[in-house]
Amino acid sequence: MRRSRLILLPMERILLTHPFPPVFDGNSRVLILGSFPSAASRSASFYYGHPRNRFWRVLSLLYGEEVPDDVPGRREFLLAHGIALWDSIGECTIVGSSDASIRDAVPNKISELLEKAPIERIFANGKASFACYEKYVFPETGIHAALLPSTSPANAAWSAERLSEAWRAILPDQLKSKPVSSVME
């Protein structure tokens, strides 16, 4: 019997610029910020392209609708629900898709998006996005982001159902409630 061997090639740190624009329109009330697109998302040319990332599953659970599999359908789904989507980081050096490997981060120009859309609340999908936003963007905008638990497969401690409970904070009926600095508990 032959055994197959998995050969892992060393991954290099590379400098990348965010490869696609934000999703938003004049009806966007909620801005959800990731950190930086994963290799799968960069390949798909759209947000949350890794099949094990639970972002789209969580939105499906929250809104009680199936989320389309195609990019135009996903964009339409977001806009229909008043969701703007972008990433905190516009340029960085990174190894593969690992948020922990991000260095030399340059933030996206989020204040420009805020001038164009009537955003009421900003949410960060995970700690890397939150840290970048609070360090570089908050001083410019004066608007704090609320930290949501990451939908990344690396956050395996949170099931899709548990994530959807925490992510209820993005729903329209929750936006007018008291300010949320973190919904991680």
Residues carrying an active site annotation: 53
Element (H, E) at 84: strand 83-87
Q: What's the distance, Cα to Cα, between the start and end of the chain in Å?
A: 50
What is the 3 state secondary structure string of 89-114?
EEEEEEECCCHHHCEEEEECCHHHHH
Q: Are 38 and 46 in contact (CB under 8 A)?
A: no
List the one residue out of 150, 149, 151, 129 whose CA is nearest residue 56.
151
Structure-block tokens of residue 60: 């499906």
DSSP secondary structure letter of residue 136: I
Within the chain, residue ranges assigned H as helices are: 39-44, 55-63, 71-80, 110-116, 127-132, 138-141, 160-166, 172-175
* Nearest alpha-carbon partner for 55 in 37, 80, 72, 43: 37
